[in-house]
Amino acid sequence: MIQVRAFCAAVISLFAVLMFAPAAQADFASSLARFAQDEFSETALAIDEIAASGDSRAQQVLEALGSARLFVDPASKKVYWRAATSARTIHDAANGEPVVDPPAGLQVVRINNRLRGATLNAIGALTLMAPDPARRRAAAESIFKSRDASALAPLEAAIKVEKDPSIATLFAQARAVLMLAAPQATKDQQLEAISILRMRADIGAIAALRSTNASADADVKALAADAVTAIEARLKLMSHVQNVWYGLSLGSVLLLAAIGLAITFGVMGVINMAHGEMVMLGAYTTFVVQEVFRAYAPDWFDWSLPVALPLAFLFTGLVGIAIERGVIRFLYGRPLETLLATWGVSLILQQAVRTIFGPSNREVGAPSYMSGAFDLFGLSVTWGRMWIIVFTLFVFVSLLLALKHTSLGLHMRAVTQNRRMASAMGIRTPWVDAMTFGLGSGLAGIAGVALSQIDNVSPNLGQSYIIDSFMVVVFGGVGNLWGTLVSAFALGVANKFLEPVAGAVLAKIFILVLLILFIQKRPRGLFALKGRAVEA
Amino acid sequence: MMPNWGVCMSINFVRRGVLAGMASAAMMLTVGAPAIAQETIKVGILHSLSGTMAISETTLKDVMLMLIEEQNKKGGVLGRKLEAVVVDPASNWPLFAEKARELITQHKVAAVFGCWTSVSRKSVLPVFKELNNILFYPVQYEGEESERNVFYTGAAPNQQAIPAVDYLMSKDGGDVKRWVLAGTDYVYPRTTNRILEAYLKAKGVASEDIMINYTPFGHSDWQTIVSNVKKFGSAGKKTAVVSTINGDANVPFYKELANQGVKATDIPVVAFSVGEEELAGVDTSNLVGHLAAWNYFQSVKNPANAEFIAKWQAFTKNPKRVTNDPMEAHVVGFNMWIKAIEKAGTTDPDKVISALPGIEAPNLTGGMSKMLPNHHITKPVMIGEIRADGQFDVVWQTKGLVAGDAWSDFLEGSKDLEADWVGKKCGNFNTKTNKCGS
Amino acid sequence: MIAKVFFERYDRAGLIFLGVMATIAIFVPLSNLLLPTDSFLHVPTYVMSLVGKYLCYAILALSLDLVWGYCGILSLGHGAFFALGGYAMGMYLMRQIGSRGVYGNPDLPDFMVFLNWKEIPWFWYGFDMFPFALLMMALVPGLLAFLFGWLAFRSRVTGVYLSIITQAMTYALLLAFFRNDMGFGGNNGLTDFKDILGFNIQAQGTRAALFFATALLLILSYMLARWMVTTAFGKVLVAVRDAESRTRFLGYRVEHFKLLVFTVSAAMAGIAGALYVPQVGIINPSEFSPANSIEAVIWVAVGGRGTLVGAALGAVVVNFLKTWFTTGFLAPYWLFMLGALFIGVTLAMPKGIVGTLQDWSARRRERATYTEKSAQKIAEQGE
């Protein structure tokens, strides 16, 4: 089957070559026809030809190819592309006109990584002078990465007309990369290239400097090596900053997971083994909300997280209140027994989710503002992680304020400090208990919304956080929110500094051992509640 | 479990007195079944339905139920119906052994289809040997094993890892010169990476161009490792990641890759444990072009595959349900078992075990897989690139089928070993000493 | 006279327990070996190995009840001691395989050949000798418990803090044993055993003997635990549980008592683990998982905390239900039932099965005495 196809392809391409051999440049239509072969080698030729054709239709076709929007009609062998913005409109690739009634059974033109790279390069060369600055930026980056020598000419042309200084720098850097790799570049050009790359001072620059052409002058090579050392020294320094950042990010995840537990366990004394499942329910709420968005308002998908947050809080809060009313209220004063009952609750919740949503992972997408990364003084910061840190701190501050300045917060503190006195003062303690547990569960729920962005959304989600959460709360000191904050960030940062040295597994073991030893020193955690009572 | 009720009812009919017996006999005559109704043939299904492995294994249970239902519609085998016995070993390894014993001694199953992790297989192994029954194991694994009672329908390392690396070294694969071998710290990644390391070095890759990294199960914070990979990839040589990261940890890994902007065109990741089912939990639009090596992809265009997908989606009543490689392994294994029973004329384990080598059954990618004397099967190897819709595009595939090799030729201890249950009657024949075992 | 002293130590539940256990210990292995398979009284090997497993869990539960029920130390890491004992046994069994492994290497276990190790690491020395291994089964968990307890009790870590750091301990061990570099076989653990003390581990006779040993050990553990809690020592333990500070103020060195009972309990759990491994045929790091330890706590709670008999009963009942629920059409729903059971027991039977029964019979006796007394009174008044 494959052989037959290959044979046909060979015949057709031979035929094509024969037909157009006299022409210096293959014409656009025949290049398009190569896509219909469904052969990677043919597609590669087509990309090169189209990129070199200088045709005004080239960019549309190549972009469609790169993002799997280029189609072939197997019957007529005609090529079509779909517009990036609308899912419906199909254009004829030969003339760019929209087709009213596209043929059925269109098949996507398949590409592999090599062709995808080639397509990106070609697009890069074509879009160097695009009016949109973002596209010019992307074009420069793609040339920088690919080191495709053929892009030099369009790049030189683009440098001459570029007005935006930041983009001009990018172009210069891209040009520097090409100069370094090119065998025909002069020594001066290469020395200049090295100094430009040295200014850029990132991993990409190192890669470019390392791939200096082997035939280059010895001085050039020495200078390039020198630049690499300099950049590496700088990056080494940065790696400590990066570790702190990663640590803060891990810490924020720990804090987020633990903060609800700091209420249910820390404040109320319930050993809430179902806490992890509340986080999981929050993540599944996000999934459901996103499904609704996907079905009814795909254009508003970015709003799915802001919508999911309050819903997750409400839903898990209500589940928490139901658990408190149904189970936990009978167990006050018997904290260890809450462990057993909530363990039972957690088994039931896990299996319930497994029954309803199935045992496999569910897809929770990242809105645009949660994806990608930006560069902060050479530190690559991912948006998702950054928003999670910001969000965690926001939740923490709101919780502190709520406990300090609302009447529910006042009642909560009163009830946990002296239940009978609070009751005597007219506080409805059962109601406050339910609300407190609901609050803790709700916080777990919104943690689930955030964690759905970085972890699996599966029935096992909660299990992976429950132990860490308990460690965080206990390390910080039960009943102390600030302690929880400090402990989460301390554990996160310590873990991230140990990880490059000891590896991920040993780092975690060290942290646990340190925690055990620390508790010997301070048996009530970092910030023990001060009091006169000898023991609880 | 609904599908089995019909089967159970038909037995009960027979067991009830003369009147019912006559009625059922009449019924059976009308549908053309044998007049003498026999007991069903029981098939054990040993896949975790709860706990950490439920995420992967539940699907395999459903596939087995579907296959058994299908077979019963065709009249069963040897004139007898099949009956599934489902147990839940709950991702707990000693419980696997206990449940295997229960299936064999209490339920008297004729064969068991089950296990996912290597440790679960190791746990049930002594039970199958002691009680002499048959296990069909459907998952790709580290090799280094060939047991009389086990039939390995998943890939051995030479049917997955080595072709994948070959592909990446080729021009189409990107001419990769520098390698990151990242895996979860357990036996499968350890062995696969050792085999790959030996293989790469044999191909002339220097030690400093290989980075090996292990992470714990369910690792969820990949920031440091992904940034290390980026750093490693900046040496000016084309770099690729060979990932043997276990199921659960993959989603956060891929999310981190996407967030840190590691594109397949820069540093491709080829995974051996990521299939359609795992990707169902990820937004793949940022992962387009990353690779996976398997012996089956849902996207393979083939009438047998199309039929299977249609049946599966109808069976699960979910038009979006995906299929994956271990499911295909069960399909092939199940069909081989049926053929072996027909060939042996009995379900007696000894006879079926000796009937199985040499049996051929069509796989879903258009080939004919064969059970080899080492109890592994022949399979095509395919490399797929992730598409935006969570499916794979097959970008490369071996010319013919590759025979599974139980003992790797690249490992010190095992290169002299050979498994041959037909000629040599053993799973670890040493070609140096010409003896089984040492 | 001796008999009287012996029996005085036990309450009614204890005597029943001892009786039942002695019967099981003798009847089950004999019936399995001697009676024909179609006999009504025959115990199939499957059932025997299942019950053997439950009994190992019962010893674990007993050891946990000793520290939790009588001394108030809620250990969420007892599974770690169980697993360590199991590993000690596993290492012995691995060494017994000798050159019968798949690679035929006489010195190294298969997984070491597999990972390209050249020689056996030092901590495997001696495990080819059973007496040494036997010692290690109790000593390693005991030593760990001693060290851990010495640190924790001396600095007066109590209550939830103690529970959480025991959990941290077992979690750290879980991660450590998962590492292949540790030399304990990583995730695959130790498996494919052949012989124990020269007997084929799969032979019916060996199984029966292992069963008998387990049952006997359960009886001995129970007697030891009962002895500990009924002597003056036990009274101090209960005092520590109920009012630690007051006991300390009375002049007792609380931490010594805690340390002793914790260490004994850990060693007991270790031996339970050691018996568990040859019966289930595998030991793997997942035995260290915190969930396993929590489950052990639940067995004790279901059976009745602070009753010893209840702990053993709870382990058997919960595990029996687990076996039963995980088969057939109940399989997809078994977690619902197990979860409901835990909630139900905590809410409706806070003292567990045995505690509730004891309460109930005590109340009945009280009522009986009360009726007797009032009858007497009436009779007296009538005079």
- Maximum pairwise Cα distance, chain B: 84
pLDDT over 70 percentage in chain A = 93
Q: Is the pLDDT reported for residue A508 higher than 70?
A: yes
C313 vs C108, more confident = C313
d(CA B248, CA A359): 12
CA-nearest residue to C336 within chain A is A348
Give the up-direction half-sphere exposure of residue B148: CA atoms within 13 A in the CB hemisphere: 21
pLDDT over 60 at B13, yes or no: no
Angstrom distance (rounded) from CA B114 to CA B48:
9
Q: Is the pLDDT of residue A86 over 90?
A: no
Residue B194: what residue type? R
Contacts of C167 in chain A (CB under 8 A): 467, 470
CA distance A101 to A89: 10
Please answer whether residues A492 and A277 qualify as being in contact, where contact means their C-beta atoms are separated by less than 8 angstroms: no
Highest mean pLDDT pick, A103-112, A366-375, B376-385, C329-338: B376-385
Q: What is the DSSP letter of B341?
A: H
Q: Is B438 on the interface with C (CB under 8 A)?
A: yes
Cα of C332 to nearest chain B Cα, Å:
7
Both tokens of residue C228? Answer: 């500990």
| Residue tagged 């991993």 (tokens) | A203
Chain C interface test: which of B187, B194, B220 (most C C-beta within 10 Å): B187
Residue with tokens 């990369």: A177
Which token pair is A329? 């209220």
Q: Are B47 and B114 contacting, i.e. CB atoms less than 8 angstroms apart?
A: yes
- Can you give the pLDDT at residue C380? 65
Task: Give chain B's mean pLDDT.
Answer: 86
Tell me the average pLDDT across A501-524: 89
Q: Mean pLDDT, to the nearest integer, of B8-14?
A: 36
Identity of the amino acid at A251: G
pLDDT score recorded for residue A358:
85
Higher pLDDT, B33 or B135: B135
Q: Which of A340, A521, A522, A524 would you mutate first to test chain C, the one with the most C CBs within 10 A?
A: A340
The closest of C55, C62, C49, C14 to C296, measured between CA atoms, is: C62
pLDDT at B115: 95
Mean pLDDT calculated for residue range C226-243: 91
pLDDT digits (tens, 9 = 90+) for B111-133: 999 999 888 999 999 999 999 99
- Which residues are paired to B294 by β-bridges? B382
**Residue A384 to residues A303, A391, A529, Cα–Cα distance (Å):** 15, 10, 35
pLDDT tens digits for A467-493?
A: 899 999 989 988 888 999 999 999 999
pLDDT > 90 fraction of chain A, expressed in percent and rounded: 30
CATH number of B159-294: 3.40.50.2300
B192 and chain C: CB distance < 8 Å anywhere?
Answer: no
Hey, what amino acid is at A5? R
Could you tell me which residue, A212 or C349, shows the higher pLDDT? C349
Q: Which amino acid is at A440?
A: G
Most distant CA atoms of chain C, gap in Å: 95
Q: How far is A310 from chain C (nearest CA, A)?
A: 29
Per the model's pLDDT, the better-predicted residue between B300 and A68 turns out to be B300
Q: How many CB atoms lie within 10 A of CB B367?
A: 19
Band of residue B4 on the pLDDT scale cut at 50, 70, 90: very low
**Cα–Cα distance for residue pair C64/C100, rounded to 1 Å:** 38
Q: Is residue B161 predicted with pLDDT exceeding 80?
A: yes
**A384, two tokens:** 């998702």
3-state secondary structure of B277: helix
CB A209 within 8 A of CB A227: yes
Domain ranges of chain B: 159-294
pLDDT of residue A25 exceeding 70 = no
In whole angstroms, what is the distance from residue A343 CA to residue A450 CA?
24
Closest CA to A439 of A266, A252, A253: A266
3-state SS assignment for residue B377: strand
* pLDDT band at residue B104 under the 50/70/90 scheme: very high
pLDDT at B410: 86
CB A262, CB A254: distance < 8 Å: no
Mutate which of C74, C165, C353 to disrupt the A interface (most A C-beta within 10 Å)? C165
For residue A535, the model assigns a pLDDT of 45
Predicted local confidence at residue A533, as pLDDT: 44
For A374-400, write each residue's pLDDT tens digit. Answer: 877 777 788 888 999 999 999 999 999
Say which residue, B67 or A141, is predicted with more confidence: B67
Mean per-residue pLDDT over chain A, rounded = 85
Segment holding C382, helix H or strand E: helix C352-382
- Asked if pLDDT for residue B318 goes beyond 80, the answer is yes
Closest residue of B to C179, CA-based? Answer: B185
| Lowest mean pLDDT, pick from A329-333, B404-408, C220-224 | A329-333
**CA dist., res. A120 & res. A125, Å (int):** 9
**pLDDT cut 70: percent of chain B above it:** 91
Looking at every residue in chain C, the average pLDDT score rounds to 89
* C45: closest CA of chain A, how far (Å): 31
pLDDT at position B347: 93
Q: Collapse the DSSP code of C156 into the 3-class scheme (helix H, G, I; strand E, B; otherwise coil) and give the result.
A: coil
Cβ atoms C144, C173 nearer than 8 A:
no
Q: Which of B215, B251, B393 sits opposite A361 (nearest CB)?
A: B251
Question: B58 with A359: CB under 8 angstroms?
Answer: yes
For C58-70, the pLDDT digits (tens) are: 999 999 999 999 9
- According to DSSP, residue B106 is labeled I
Which residues make beta-bridge pairs with B417? Answer: B430
- Distance, in Å, from the CA atom of B227 to the CA atom of B431, rounded to the nearest integer, reads 46
CA dihedral over B86, B92, B97, B98, signed as positive or negative: negative
Task: Compute CA distances A123 → A59, A79, A137, B301, whole Å.
Answer: 6, 19, 12, 31
Q: What is the rounded CA–CA span in Å between residue B267 and residue B269?
A: 7
Query: Which of A207, A123, A150 is CA-nearest to residue A173?
Result: A207
- The b/e string for A100-117 (b: 16+ C-beta within 10 A; e otherwise) is eebeeebebbbbbbbbbb
- Per the CB < 8 A criterion, the answer to whether A282 and A446 are in contact is yes
Nearest residue on chain A to C345, alpha-carbon basis: A341
Top pLDDT among B24 and C134 is at C134
Residue in B92, B187, B414 closest to C186 by CB: B187
Of the ranges A323-332, C80-89, C242-251, C372-381, the best mean pLDDT one: C80-89
Q: Which of A368-372, B32-36, B153-157, B316-320 has the highest mean pLDDT?
A: B153-157
Mutation site for A-interface testing, chosen from B265, B266, B397 by largest number of A Cβ within 10 Å:
B265
Provide the ipTM.
0.89
Pairing status of strand B435-436 against strand B426-430: antiparallel
Q: How distant, in Å, are the alpha carbons of A153, A292, A445, C164 from that of A301?
A: 41, 10, 20, 41
Per residue in B274-303, pLDDT (tens digit) is 889 888 877 888 888 999 999 999 999 899
pLDDT, mean of residues A179-199: 84
* Mean pLDDT across C215-231: 94
Residue A395: per-residue pLDDT: 95
Distance CA A190, CA A219 (A): 10
Q: Does B50 touch chain C (CB under 8 A)?
A: yes
Average pLDDT over residues A40-60: 84
Q: What is the pLDDT of residue B218?
A: 81
Angle between helices A304-326 and A275-296 (to 10 degrees): 140
Chain C contact for B1, CB < 8 A? yes
pTM of the model as a whole: 0.87
For residues A190 and A185, give the distance between their C-alpha atoms in angstroms, rounded to a whole number.
7
B/e letters for A379-400, b = 16+ CB within 10 Å, e = fewer, are: ebbbbbbbbbbebbeebbeebe
DSSP A224-286: HHHHHHHHHHHHHHHHHHHHHHHHHHHHHHHHHHHHHHIIIIIIT----TTHHHHHHHHHHHH
Is residue A45 over pLDDT 70? yes
Q: Which residue in A211, A350, A504 is closest to B215 by CB distance?
A: A504
pLDDT of A404 over the 60 cut: yes
Residue of C175, C209, C139, C124 whose CA lies nearest to C285: C175
- For chain A, the first-to-last Cα distance in angstroms comes to 79
**Percent helix, strand, coil in chain B (nearest 5)?**
40, 20, 40
Rounded average pLDDT over C269-289: 94
Report residue C346's pLDDT band, with 50, 70 and 90 as the boundaries.
confident
Sheet holding B426-430, edge to edge: B417-420, B426-430, B435-436
Banded pLDDT at A259 (limits 50, 70, 90): very high
Find how far residue B186's CA is from the centre of its chain: 17
Query: Using a CB-CB distance cutoff of 8 angstroms, which residues of chain B are in contact with residue A367?
Result: none
If you search the block for the tokens 């998943």, which residue do you land on?
A: B154
pLDDT reported for residue C144: 96
Residues present in chain A in total = 536
pLDDT band at C314 (very low <50, low <70, confident <90, very high): very high
For range B140-158, the mean pLDDT: 93
- Is residue A2's pLDDT more than 60? no
- Closest CA relative to residue A78, chosen from A96, A93, A88, A63: A93
Measured between alpha carbons, how far is C191 from C109 in angstroms, rounded to an integer?
10
Contacts of B215 in chain A (CB under 8 A): 504-505
Is there a contact between B113 and B305 (Cβ–Cβ < 8 Å)? no
Q: Taking the CA atoms of B23, B28, B34 and B40 in sequence, report the sign of the dihedral they define.
A: negative
pLDDT of residue C382: 53
